[in-house]
Amino acid sequence: MSEQETLQKQNPSAKTSDYNARTLPRILTVTDQYGDPVQNPGFTKSNQLYFEGKAPRSELVELLDKSIPVYHPVYVTEHGDFNFYLTDQRSGDHEYSVKDSNGYESAPWVITLDITDAVSIDWITGPDGQMIEDNGSTLFSELDFVGQGEAGQKIELLDNGVVVQTFAVNEMKRWFGNVKELSTGSHEFMARGQKGQESAVWRVLIKKPAPLSIRFVLGQENYQLIENNGATTDQVVTIVGTANPNEKGWVVTSANAAEPFAANESGVYFTTFRNLAAGRHSFSLRSDLGRVSAPWVVIVIYSKLP
């Protein structure tokens, strides 16, 4: 038996202590919304904090502030890494720590926040209400903004360095903004207060939307393609076309019939109409985003028996 094994046998807590020392979760770095490091103990005027650390891989860890959870648990990667991104932090003294699913807790990271006049963009969403991450992309040309600032002051919203709108900060230190008709391409949004305070830049790539269209119509009974303004004896037809990925809406007809469509992740949809009456049918798409396609006309004729 080696000397180390003898010592551990004589003192079992030595092995446990060694295990804990290697597996205890720990916070390695904290940075603010401007990308500047925050020391421990430290001070910042930012209300947004980014934590990085190490913990046993595949464990769940949660972030605490003075022993109170402030973020939902996240999984540690296979490399033993974790991160948290906190927004909307309050002024005052904070003691952040991380606890794993075994109950082991890191040493505290003490930060004093002074955000009495801080300016921030807290999140950006599209008309569908889905958040667009920093460095994310969207197909929408209209965006909604939520941020913080000094109560009673005005906030300028800049896009690529140019002021596009001004918004008022309410008594809860919140401001809300809506910007329409944004061009496709890269945008760098930043909020600026009346005292010159600036938020971190929020980068969004606006992509060109896919055309909302009917590409072809297929008669299901005779398996024939039906041209625009073409005739068919089929009473069951399938509309096939393009839209934005996951875009939804309705295919409507001139006879006030409607069937839902839902584009897949490739932006392709299929919608079938049945029991079409003899006559002229004009199909068009109306998406939940307010887009309308060009019409496609199909003329249904009933074949006469000899």
Digit-coded pLDDT (tens) for 22-35: 578 999 999 998 88
* Measured torsion, CA atoms of residues 285, 291, 293, 294, in degrees rounded to the nearest 10: 130
Residue 80: per-residue pLDDT: 92
The residue from 85, 113, 141 where one domain ends is: 113
The reply to whether 266 and 249 lie within a common domain is yes
Question: Residue 229 domain-assigned?
Answer: yes
Give the pairing type, strands 143-148 and 174-179.
antiparallel
The residue from 113, 139, 157 where one domain ends is: 113
Output the pTM of the full model. 0.55
Question: Residue 107 domain-assigned?
Answer: yes
State CA 293 to chain mean position distance. 27
Q: What share of the chain is helix, strand, coil (3-state, %, to 5)?
A: 5, 50, 45
Digit-coded pLDDT (tens) for 98-141: 999 989 999 999 999 987 778 889 999 998 899 999 999 998 89
CATH number of residue 269's parent domain = 2.60.40.10
Question: Which of 14, 17, 23 has its CA nearest to residue 4?
Answer: 14
Supply the range of the domain harboring residue 174. 120-206
Number of structural domains in the chain: 3
CA gap 172, 150 in Å, rounded = 9
Tokens 């804990």 belong to 20
* Helix (H), strand (E), coil (C) string for 193-237: ECCCCECCCEEEEECCCCCCEEEEEEECCCCEEECCCEEECCCCE
The reply to whether 272 and 293 lie within a common domain is yes
Digit-coded pLDDT (tens) for 130-157: 999 999 999 889 999 999 888 899 999 9
Question: Residue 80 domain-assigned?
Answer: yes
CA gap 132, 141 in Å, rounded = 12
Digit-coded pLDDT (tens) for 37-52: 999 999 998 888 999 9
The reply to whether 149 and 134 lie within a common domain is yes
Question: Residue 5 domain-assigned?
Answer: no
The reply to whether 33 and 102 lie within a common domain is yes
What sign results for the dihedral spanned by CA atoms 221, 222, 228, 231?
Answer: negative
The residue from 206, 238, 265 where one domain ends is: 206
pLDDT exceeds 80 at position 97 = yes
Question: Which of 208, 216, 247 has its CA nearest to residue 232?
Answer: 216
Question: Residue 250 domain-assigned?
Answer: yes
